[in-house]
Structure 1
């Protein structure tokens, strides 16, 4: 079984199309998506259209939840832009997405952690442009009761694959649509494959027209996103 794992598209259709083309080239049994689909100053409706057509489970992220229930947080300018650009069908799709899912009885999907879509799991949040691997005890505690061999998360935009001492793997595929302090603007996703009873992970990096994405964000009135999309060197400050 070979699966593609994508997360954090943030409305970046140029990056998403490049990743979907790479997935088609790789050949997979299903594509799983971990949330934060449309909240970005690019093409939220186009991203929703493509993700609604996926053949694997799709869950919601924190930005997706805020779009549907803005009373929980209030809409920041990027979320407001996404909401205005989407059709009612897109909003209904977002509203129906679950917070977590299980695929094929083996693969658990969440956005942040199993119980929170805003908490980072296998990375400390960005502090002084750094990301930090939390202590094993912290990561393991957040996995309690989630007894599947593969645990998937997104949210931090940082690609990482770790093993717990009991053999379970936690995999973050990185972000399709917005690279933060990576030093590269290329889109990221993951391929996981079970062969002869063992799971293999391929954290993939896919080039796309990131210069055009930055110009699109600028044309839509979100100048800080230009450098983030075109370089991959900046952090999240001022983007949301």
Structure 2
């Protein structure tokens, strides 16, 4: 796939987090929209009720896959002594341990093939940033930091990263920073609480000889399929996890 030499429609997606109903809805929409090639930005399996299924479905695409911080965590021993100061941290750690335990050796070997970055002459893809898989690049990131990263990691005119679970289009002098949002775990604040919304987010990039044009997509799907899958999976704290899901 050479997006710099011929017209092509590229689908970029990530942050699936073990949610194949969302992944299948996104992939069906990508194909309906005429996507010709794919790049996955990582965080494929951790945290959802179907970690193995998501590893397999992404592998079946045969596309470049960037390693996210959650993919890295799936290959590392659980460290219950590490405090991240997040709500329900003990429950989150137990869910992470369960997710790791679902993977086979073959699944782990597949995660080890994920790339730190995916590079093309006019496109750089990564998870958090090209330097750290857990760095957040947002609309508020100082321009000085972005220029520092660009000086160290490449002059491609289009950069696409994930990790924040929030869509982003940020234009700087001569280049564009994008984030497709999250396929499997888009969250938003409703009233006093954060909820997960059954809305699979991804990005289409139309490449021509003149450059690229981004289109953000958000595909609704059946929230009850996710809730049923969580409750039937054996994942710890299933009632709590299922209750966090709401319709798009």
Normalised by the shorter chain, which TM-score bucket?
0.7 to 0.9
- 1:187 corresponds to: 200
Q: Distance in 1 between matches of 2:125 and 2:20?
A: 22
Q: Secondary structure at the match of 1:53?
A: helix
Matches within 5 A, 1:77-96: 77-96=94-113
Task: Confirm or deny: 8 A CA contact 2:165 2:182 kept in the other structure.
Answer: yes
Aligned residues: 221
- Structure-1-length-normalised TM-score: 0.84
- Which residue of structure 1 aligns with residue 37 of structure 2? 30
- The CA deviation at 1:8 is 0.4
Unaligned 5+ residue runs, structure 2?
A: 1-7, 83-91, 191-196
On the 8 A contact 2:78/2:97 being kept in 1, the answer is: no
Question: Partner of 1:162 in structure 2?
Answer: 170
| Paired residues of 2:202 and 2:217 also in contact (CA < 8 A) | yes
Q: Deviation of residue 21 (structure 1)?
A: 0.4
From 132, 142, 146, the equivalent of 2:149 is: 142
Q: Secondary structure at the match of 2:226?
A: helix
Query: d(CA) in 2 for partners of 1:228 and 1:119?
Result: 25
Q: CA deviation at 1:71?
A: 6.5
> Of residues 172, 175, 179 in structure 1, which corresponds to 2:179?
172
Say if 2:80 is the partner of 1:64: no
Specify which of 217, 226, 232 is matched with residue 204 of structure 1: 217
Equivalent-residue separation in structure 2 for 1:215 and 1:179 (angstroms): 18
Q: Secondary structure at the match of 2:221?
A: coil
Residue 138 of structure 2 is matched in structure 1 by 122
Which secondary structure does the structure 1 equivalent of 2:58 belong to?
Answer: helix
Q: Is the 8 A contact 1:15 1:177 kept in 2?
A: yes
Is the contact between residue 36 and residue 61 of structure 1 (CA under 8 Å) also seen in structure 2?
yes
> Which TM-score applies when normalising by structure 2?
0.81
Unaligned runs of 5+ in 1: 124-132, 233-240
Whole-angstrom distance in 2 between the partners of 1:7 and 1:68:
18
Higher radius of gyration, 1 or 2 = 2
State the alpha-carbon separation in 2 of the partners of residues 96 and 117 from structure 1.
15
TM-align CA RMSD: 2.2
State how far apart, in whole Å, the 2-side matches of 1:168 and 1:72 are.
Answer: 39
**1:9 matched to 2:26:** no
